[in-house]
C-alpha cells in the first residue's frame, strides 16, 4: 500500500518521505523500462542526475528549494542556458517562464484532453477535436486502427479469457463493445485486462511459453 511504502522512510520531513517513495517506486520503474527499451536498439541510457552523492546532497537541501523543480531550473539555466531554452514535454513551453504560467499552460493541456475525450464520447466519435498532445491517444488508437482493434478484441473476447473464474464475462463483452462504439472510454481498464491476460497466459497457464 502507499502508506506502507511511505513508512519505509524514517525521515521526519514529509518532503523527504515523498521523494523516497518516488525514487524507490516511480523512478526505479521508469529507469528499468527505459533501459529495456534502449538496449533493444543498442543504446545505453545515461542518467547523470541519478548519481548517489548528488541525490544525498539534494535530500539535504531545504524542501522549498526542491519544490516545483526550483533548484533544478536554477542550475540548469546557469550551467546550460541553451538547454534551458528547450521546451519541456508536459507543458510544451520553455522553462524560463514564471512557474504560474507553466502551471496554467499544463492545466490547459489537461483540460483540452478531457474536453476532447468527452466530446468524442458524446458524439459517438463523429466530432473529433484536433489537439496536439504529448501522449499517444491509445483509446482512439485501438478504435481506429483495425489491426490493433482486432488484436485487443482477439485477446479479451477469446473464450480462454472469458472463461476465467475471476472475470465477469458479460461486463468484459459490454466494456469492449462500449469502448469501440464510442459509448464510453475504457482505455485504462482495457489495457490493464490485456496486460493481465497476457501475463496469465505466459506464466500461469499450461504451456506458458506459448506465443500470444
The whole-number average pLDDT for the span 52-70 is 83
Residue ranges of the domains in the chain?
2-60, 136-203
Cell of 4: 506502507
The whole-number average pLDDT for the span 192-200 is 94
Measured between alpha carbons, how far is 3 from 71 in angstroms, rounded to an integer? 28
Per-residue pLDDT, 5: 78
| pLDDT one-digit tens code per residue, 124-177 | 888 887 777 667 788 999 999 999 999 999 999 999 999 998 889 999 999 999
Give the side-chain half-sphere CA count within 13 A for 109. Answer: 14
| pLDDT one-digit tens code per residue, 9-31 | 877 888 888 888 887 777 766 66
Contact 94/85 with Cβ under 8 angstroms?
yes
CA distances from 147 to 12, 127, 152, 184 (A): 52, 23, 9, 21
Q: Is the pLDDT of residue 78 over 90?
A: no
Per-residue pLDDT, 209: 45
Q: pLDDT-derived band of residue 94, with 50, 70 and 90 as boundaries?
A: confident
Amino acid at each position: 500500500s502507499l502508506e506502507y511504502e511511505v513508512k519505509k522512510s524514517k525521515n521526519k520531513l514529509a518532503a523527504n518521505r515523498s521523494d523516497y517513495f518516488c525514487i524507490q517506486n516511480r523512478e526505479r520503474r521508469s529507469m528499468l523500462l527505459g533501459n529495456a527499451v534502449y538496449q533493444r536498439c543498442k543504446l545505453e541510457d545515461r542518467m547523470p542526475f541519478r548519481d548517489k552523492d548528488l541525490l544525498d546532497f539534494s535530500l539535504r537541501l531545504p524542501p522549498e528549494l526542491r519544490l516545483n523543480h526550483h533548484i533544478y531550473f536554477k542550475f540548469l539555466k546557469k550551467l546550460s542556458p541553451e538547454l534551458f531554452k528547450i521546451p519541456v514535454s508536459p507543458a510544451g513551453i520553455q522553462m524560463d517562464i514564471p512557474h504560474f504560467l507553466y502551471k496554467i499552460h499544463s492545466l490547459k493541456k489537461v483540460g483540452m484532453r478531457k474536453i476532447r475525450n468527452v466530446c468524442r464520447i458524446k458524439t459517438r466519435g463523429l466530432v473529433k477535436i484536433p489537439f496536439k498532445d504529448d501522449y499517444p491517444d491509445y483509446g482512439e488508437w485501438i478504435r481506429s486502427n483495425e489491426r490493433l482493434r482486432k488484436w485487443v478484441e482477439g485477446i479479451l473476447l477469446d473464450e480462454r479469457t472469458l472463461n476465467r473464474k475471476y472475470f465477469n464475462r458479460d461486463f468484459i463483452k459490454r466494456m469492449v463493445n462500449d469502448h469501440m462504439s464510442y459509448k464510453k472510454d475504457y482505455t485504462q481498464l482495457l489495457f490493464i485486462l490485456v496486460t493481465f491476460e497476457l501475463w496469465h497466459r505466459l506464466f500461469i497457464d499450461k504451456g506458458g511459453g506459448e506465443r500470444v
